[in-house]
Structure 1
Amino acid sequence: MAIPLTVIGQEIIRYCGTFTFAVGIIGNILNTIELLSLRTFRQSPCAFYLTIMSISNIGCLGFSFSPLIMVALINFDLSDVSLFYCKFRRCFSQASIGISMTCWCLATIDQYFATCLYPRWQRFSNIKLAHYVVAITSVIWILHGIPYLIYYTHVRSSVTNKTTCTGVNSAFNFYRTYIFTNAIIGCVPIVVAGGFSLLAYRHIQLLAYRAIPLVRRDLDKQLTNMVFVQVLVFVFTLTPYTTINTTVTNINLTNDQSTQIKIQLVLNITLVLYYFSFACPFYLYLCSSERFRRQFIYVLSKIVAKPWQRPRIIVNHIVPVS
Structure 2
Amino acid sequence: MAEHWTATDWGSTEHWKFVPYDAPTPGPGEITVRVHAAGMNPADRKHVSAPRLGVAMPVSIGYEISGEITAIGPDTIIGSGPAQIGDEVLAFRIRGGYATEVTIPAEKAFAKPPALTHPAAANLLLAGTTAAEMLTVTRVQAGETILLHGASGAVGVSVLQQAAHRGVRVIGTASADRFDEVRRFGGVPVAYGEGLVDRARDAADGEISAALDAVGTDEAVDVSLELVAVRDRVVTIAAAARARAEEFRWIVGSAPDSARFRDSIRGELVNLAGRGMLEVPVARTYPLAEALEATRFLAEEHPGGKIALIP
Larger radius of gyration between Structure 1 and Structure 2: 1
Richer in strand (by share):
2
TM norm structure 1: 0.25
TM norm structure 2: 0.25
Greater RCO (CA < 8 Å, at least 6 residues apart): 1
